[in-house]
């Protein structure tokens, strides 16, 4: 990871103002709702890396160290790239089993119609939500209430239950 690549990555990240806020990826978003970042390869080509994997690799030191791991989100935001040492990080390296257990705890495993209340989204819905959030942050900057509205699909001013 060279300096120009790092600066290009950072130029696509908008950090929320609060200590618990997501860092929103404002670059490309794939059909699965996750951010995409391209890096050059040795042969003059390009390699696509999910933005959250790249963010955690910046913390761990290399992408290769993450090869055997999933990069999991604690925030349920597929375009969050907040990777830090300690409890403020929204990303962590985990096994496939840990990722599936975390997914299950969040209710994303249940495809029953009633599970929609618990934020189950298809890949297409997740991608659409991610793009709306990205476009809003690009146009207006990071507004914590607007981000909450877009992520949680709540109405403006609505208080969280938990």
Those residues with Cβ within 8 angstroms of residue 104's Cβ, 6 or more apart along the chain or in another chain: none
Which range is least confidently modeled, 15-29, 42-56, 108-122, 148-162?
A: 108-122
Contacts 24+ apart (CB under 8 A), 28-32: 29/79, 29/127, 29/130, 29/131, 29/134, 30/127, 31/123, 31/124, 31/127, 32/78, 32/123, 32/126, 32/127
Give the per-residue pLDDT at 139: 94
Give the per-residue pLDDT at 122: 80
pTM reported for the whole predicted model: 0.79
Q: What's the average model confidence in pLDDT over 51-69?
A: 84
Give the per-residue pLDDT at 13: 97
Mind listing the pLDDT tens digit for each residue in 77-127? 899 999 999 889 999 988 888 887 877 776 655 444 433 434 557 888 888
């Amino acid at each position: 990871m060279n300096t120009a690549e790092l600066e290009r990555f950072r130029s696509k990240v908008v950090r929320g103002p609060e200590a618990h806020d997501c860092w929103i990826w404002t670059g490309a978003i794939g059909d699965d709702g996750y951010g995409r970042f391209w890096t050059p390869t040795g042969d003059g080509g390009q390699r696509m890396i999910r933005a959250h994997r790249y963010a955690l690799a910046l913390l761990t030191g290399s992408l290769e160290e993450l090869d055997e791991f999933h990069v999991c989100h604690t925030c349920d935001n597929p375009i969050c790239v907040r990777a830090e040492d300690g409890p403020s990080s929204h990303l962590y390296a985990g096994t496939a089993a840990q990722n599936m257990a975390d997914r299950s705890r969040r209710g994303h495993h249940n495809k029953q119609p009633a599970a929609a209340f618990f934020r189950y989204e298809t890949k297409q819905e997740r991608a659409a939500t991610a793009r709306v959030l990205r476009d809003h942050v690009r146009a207006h900057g990071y507004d914590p209430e607007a981000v909450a509205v877009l992520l949680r699909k709540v109405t403006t001013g609505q208080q969280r239950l938990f």
